[in-house]
Structure 1
Amino acid sequence: MFGFEPQAVIVALLAAVAAGFVRGLAGFGLSVVLVPVLQLAIEPTAAVLIGLISLFLIGLTDVGRIRRHADRSAIPITLLALACMPLGLWALTALPPAWARVLIALVSLGAFVLVVVPLGRITLPRHPAMALSGFFTGFFGGFAGMPGPGMAPFYLRGRLEPSAARASMMAIFLVVTPLSAAFFVALGVGGLSEVELAAALFPAVLLGDWFGHKAFGRVTPRQWQVATAVVLGGAALGALWKLVA
């Protein structure tokens, strides 16, 4: 089925619904949930490509929200991410699959730690913070198909309203993910099977995303931040537990 084992497709469908819900609620997190689970059933490179395509497809449904609410910080972060993405892709293809699986799970865990661990009064000025966010957004996008962990600390710890932070992350995904996916395919990292499976998963992602958007309108900014951190931690710990098991 789509060139993958039936059980892998079933796992992908279940993960797609959960990942779509997270993305609708938080504005990011689709690939943070989808890729670590999916890469336990298929090759990490295939899981990353499917995650990137899924992010782009769902991003097309949010153009209106992006235009209304996105912050201008999304522009420099996007440009830096595009410049740094090839470095992440090189790391993904250079590492053995076993190591790639472990490091992809650790990316999720690292995002959780950066979001929830108190940093006291130590903060970076806005421009260096954006530069670091752009670098890690691009690197994690290329290496793990997860641009979100690179930008999440900047937007979740910043002073933007949740609607603006959420739309800004969606804007970055919408630009970075199709170019990253095209770069993957051009280099022979994945192909038609991954594109077909990502397209088949889109209705499941869309369903979860719809429920996530509904939930977003019913939570306070603090509840939004807590829910996002819990999702990051749960996805990371689940992926690490399955690797150990």
Structure 2
Amino acid sequence: MEIFGGFTALQIAVALAAALGSAFVRGLTGFGMAILLVPVLALALPPVEAVVLANALSLMIGATEIRSLVRDAEPTAWAIGGIVVLTTPLGLYALSLTGKDVARLAIALIALSAFVAILLPKRGAAVPGRLVTGGVGVLSGLMTGYAGMPGPPVVPYYAGRDLPRPTIKASMQLIFTIAACAGLASATWLGILRPELLLFALLMLPMIILGNRLGARVSGRISDSLWRVTVGLILGGAAAAAFVRLI
């Protein structure tokens, strides 16, 4: 029975639980909300609506932190974010041409490469070259268009370097906020952004804020080594889940 904006009580319950858990991971690691949230939402909602809803929530939570994100992010986040805006529509277009199986294979391979990259020894704090930075932006934008998941290319770019944790988290989250804007703009252009989804996102936002704050509080109490292990485990789990879906 529909009780809110065309959604059933079960759909709302699943979405709220997923919102709390995925936002906790975001607050803890700086990423992971879309990686965890989209597959769970897709169990209760059409996949396209799950991606749009996740983008709306990512934009909303990013907007509540925008001052700290702008203050703490590395300048490369703006460059990568700009490329994401340009390439997200290409991701949507490529998905329409290649089909779901090829898209799933691409997502699985990128997720696996991100997991391998995070296991490599930490690099210095120096900014990678323009080619690497541009490549991260292109892959992140394509993955935003494919599945609403800009994180796998971005995480090893920052977390694999010897940077302060606040800089790593702010840089990633600024890019994800920009990616969410691009995703919602694309959804609007394609006519799939229903007003009911935005209302649903507003309903879920308190759970997102709560989970994010709890995760951030825990993040401040653990060591850098444990934090990096957690980042690796989440990336590994995302890669494994991507290959399971592929099979």
TM-score after normalising by structure 1: 0.85
Residue 220 of structure 2 is aligned to residue 188 of structure 1: no
Amino acid at match of 2:202: A
Contact 1:62–1:170 under 8 Å retained in 2: no
SS at match of 1:40: helix
Residue 8 of structure 2 is aligned to residue 21 of structure 1: no
For 1:74, the equivalent position in structure 2 comes to: 77
SS at match of 2:44: coil
Contact 1:135–1:150 under 8 Å retained in 2: no
For 2:57, the equivalent position in structure 1 comes to: 54
Structure 2 residues not aligned, in runs of 5+:
none
Structure 1 residues not aligned, in runs of 5+:
none
Contact 1:105–1:239 under 8 Å retained in 2: yes
In structure 2, distance between residues paired with 1:9 and 1:99: 31
Q: Percent identity?
A: 35
In structure 2, distance between residues paired with 1:106 and 1:196: 34
Amino acid at match of 1:61: T
In structure 2, distance between residues paired with 1:98 and 1:203: 35
For 2:38, the equivalent position in structure 1 comes to: 35
**CA offset at residue 135 of structure 1?**
0.5
**CA offset at residue 52 of structure 1?**
0.6
Shift in alpha-carbon separation, 1:76–1:94, aligned structure 2, 3 A: same
**CA offset at residue 159 of structure 1?**
2.5
Amino acid at match of 2:93: W
In structure 1, distance between residues paired with 2:77 and 2:106: 26
In structure 2, distance between residues paired with 1:90 and 1:209: 32
In structure 2, distance between residues paired with 1:34 and 1:178: 17
Residue 86 of structure 2 is aligned to residue 83 of structure 1: yes
- Quick one: which of 197, 201, 204 aligns to 1:198? 201
Amino acid at match of 1:18: G
Shift in alpha-carbon separation, 1:74–1:185, aligned structure 2, 3 A: same
For 1:159, the equivalent position in structure 2 comes to: 162
For 1:11, the equivalent position in structure 2 comes to: 14
- Quick one: which of 141, 148, 151 aligns to 2:151? 148
C-alpha offsets along residues 119-172 of structure 1, whole Å, 9 cap, x if unaligned?
A: 899xx9432221111011111111111111121121111232211111111111
In structure 1, distance between residues paired with 2:17 and 2:190: 29
**CA offset at residue 82 of structure 1?**
1.0
In structure 2, distance between residues paired with 1:191 and 1:16: 19
C-alpha offsets along residues 31-69 of structure 1, whole Å, 9 cap, x if unaligned?
A: 011012212332211111111111001101212321331
SS at match of 1:146: coil
Contact 1:39–1:101 under 8 Å retained in 2: no
Shift in alpha-carbon separation, 1:240–1:150, aligned structure 2, 3 A: same
Shift in alpha-carbon separation, 1:190–1:240, aligned structure 2, 3 A: farther
Alignment of 1:81-230 (within 5 A): 81-93=84-96, 108=111, 111-116=114-119, 118=120, 125-230=128-233
Amino acid at match of 1:143: Y
Aligned length: 242
**CA offset at residue 10 of structure 1?**
1.8
Shift in alpha-carbon separation, 1:61–1:162, aligned structure 2, 3 A: same
Shift in alpha-carbon separation, 1:19–1:134, aligned structure 2, 3 A: same
**CA offset at residue 243 of structure 1?**
8.2
SS at match of 1:158: coil
